[in-house]
Chain A
Amino acid sequence: MTTESMIEVDGLTKYYGDFPAVSGLTFSVRKGEILGFLGPNGAGKSTTMRVLTGYMPPSSGTARIAGYDIVSDSLKARQHIGYLPENVPLYTEMTIREYLSFMGKIRGMSNERIVSRTNDVIQICHLEDYRDTLIGKLSKGFRQRTGIAQAVLHEPDVLIMDEPTIGIDPIQIVETRQLIKDLGGEHTLIISTHILPEVSMICERVVIIHEGEIVAEDTPKNLGDRLEGTERLTMEVRGPIKEVTKAIRNVKGVQDVSFANGESGSGLYNIIGKREGDMRVDLAKAVVDNGWGLLRMEAVTLSLEEIFLRLTTAEGS
């Protein structure tokens, strides 16, 4: 049974003093799957990862990596993990090659394997020109890649990455995401992030965590479908802002209106309403009846970001 799921988490709870950082997390990750771990800052993502990597034991519940319990079989479990902590801690006074060699040794790799794997990961992570550069002199993006290189050095079954694309420039972000995507299939990945488009780009499945509990777990697409019940429109109207807003709010089915932007005379409005019938007809009528100009109206599909916000703020609205 363990051949199927590489990571099994059951009822995982971690208290800091009296404060539950995560409580009752249960999920599993199949071999080769990329799981996105999504949540606002302080939701318990890093705590969960620290427990999974064996840095801290859970207060209760269990976690198994590649079939090994993270507490009772800690060393074995840790041999199967590659970990990239948040902020990518590295020894700045070592060169990339020295560093990778050190990480290989403390993971018990043989010298020959260290040499060949070091060359492999330097190639995979595009670090060829910097192998003998001190890590302290590398830019953030290259440090990130060095961090990923050490995480995959020993060809672990499970890769755990905490916010792997934070703090690097947009081009490097794109490259890093591609790198992570390429690693899927071979490795089982858990990636935490609070950047939502990243999740829909990289991950096959998403776990949304909020205040230490799982609030949703599904594919990025299904999560979008889940909020099918609501519809979002943007509308550009020429008319006095206050009155227009009021008129829109009075239309049947409209739940919320917000003025987005616009110059004097015309403005862009974001409208959220129930998906019953078509409120577009009524909206158009309301605008025209008041003698204002309807410049544009279009339906917007909910982005993961909004789904996320709706799930984590005022759950059930």
Chain B
Amino acid sequence: MTTTLAIMKKELVVYFKSPMAYIVAGVFLALTGVFFIDSVDTMFAVAEIRGLLLRSVFFLLPLIPPLLTMRLLAEEQKLGTLELLLTAPVRDYEVVFGKFIASFIILSGTVLLTLFYVLILSIYSNPDLGPIFSGYVGFLLCGGATLSIGLLASSLSGNQLVAAAVGFGVILLFNVIDQITTIVGGAVAKVLEAVSLTGHFDSFARGVIDTGDVVYYLVVMAFFLFLTIRSLESRRWR
């Protein structure tokens, strides 16, 4: 536990020492700003951030989490610091959890900055806070899932660019995979719908926290974190 916290704290410090945290927050706010203006700038605009969140999940989650996670394990492998880290009396999962939590905190912090838009809405109107709350819950769950994919990508090689590209590709694939359901049809379509990252987000954006969706994101997170731990362990049998 203390080692997990120590690793988490170290990673948080590095995020703020490097420009990465600021770049990520900047890009995130600029793009959500565009989404926000677009969603309120219509004739019968509704005081909600549903559109903003849906588009963020679709466009920003493939982009931002891999940027946050690409360094975490790839750089340790490249510098060789991973060898020193893993020969300390530390369990592999403590390393993975510490790094995951650090990236999750940065992502959450960035997402919570968008509460600014909610504030604007409530100044000029009366937004329904229920769907906003559930929307954020869903966004953070989905964000955690994408971070775990990014972390696995980062564990695969010592190259940060490869990590970012793999993470980006896999998350995007998970995002769009349900778009071919009409073509394949049948049981396969059902499966594709079930594994789609965006598919499970819709109900959160509408104000429904469905246990099935929550479980889905938690399972995705657990699965990819498990694979990341295995990937670290793979040095043992390679």
Contacts and interface: CB of A to CB of B under 8 A. Distances in A.
Interface of A: 16, 50, 53-57, 75-76, 78-79, 81, 83, 85-87, 89-94, 98, 102-103, 105-108, 150
B41 interface: no
Which residue of B17, B79, B87 has the most chain A CB atoms within 10 A of its CB atom?
B87
Nearest to B81: A89
A79 B89 contact: yes
A50 B83 CA distance: 8
A91 B76 CA distance: 9
B73 to A, nearest CB: 14
Contacts of B80: 85-87, 89
A89 B89 contact: no
Interface string B7-29: 10010011001100000000000
B200 to A, nearest CB: 36
B6 A106 contact: yes
A105 B87 contact: no
Given A55-B87, A94-B13, 14 more contacts: A50-B83, A56-B235, A56-B236, A79-B89, A89-B81, A89-B83, A89-B84, A90-B79, A90-B81, A103-B88, A105-B2, A106-B6, A106-B7, A106-B90
B88 A107 contact: yes
Given A57-B236, A105-B3, A83 B89 contact: no
B86 interface: yes
For the complex of A and B, 7 pairs with smallest distance between CB atoms: A89-B80, A105-B6, A53-B87, A89-B81, A78-B89, A79-B89, A75-B89
Given A105-B6, A106-B3, A55 B88 contact: no
Contact of B84 (A83, A92, A108): A83
A108 B3 CA distance: 7
A185 B85 CA distance: 26
A89 B88 contact: no
B39 to A, nearest CB: 39
Given A85-B83, A89-B79, A106 B88 contact: yes
Given A56-B235, A106-B3, A106-B6, A83 B14 contact: no
Contacts of B79: 89-92
Contacts, number: 68
B89 A108 contact: yes
B83 A55 contact: yes
Given A55-B83, A78-B87, A78-B89, A93 B18 contact: yes
Contacts of A79: 89
Contacts of A107: 88-89
B91 interface: yes
Contacts of B236: 56-57
B22 to A, nearest CB: 15
A53 B83 CA distance: 9
Contacts of A87: 80
A96 to B, nearest CB: 14
Contact of B87 (A54, A76, A91, A92): A54
Contacts of A89: 79-84
B95 to A, nearest CB: 9
A108 B94 CA distance: 13
Contacts of A98: 13
Interface centre among B89, B235, B236 (most CB of A within 10 A): B89
A78 B88 contact: yes
Nearest to A90: B81
Contacts of B17: 93
B89 A55 contact: no
A106 B85 contact: yes
A94 B6 CA distance: 14
A316 B118 CA distance: 82
Nearest to A99: B10
Nearest to A59: B237
Contact of A85 (B7, B84, B89, B90): B84
Interface in B56-90: 79-90
B102 to A, nearest CB: 13
5 contacts: A83-B84, A85-B84, A85-B87, A94-B13, A94-B14
Contacts of A105: 2-3, 6
Nearest to A87: B80
Contacts of A50: 83
Interface in B143-197: none
Contacts of B89: 75-76, 78-79, 106-108
A46 to B, nearest CB: 10
A57 B87 CA distance: 12
A81 B238 CA distance: 24
A173 B141 CA distance: 53
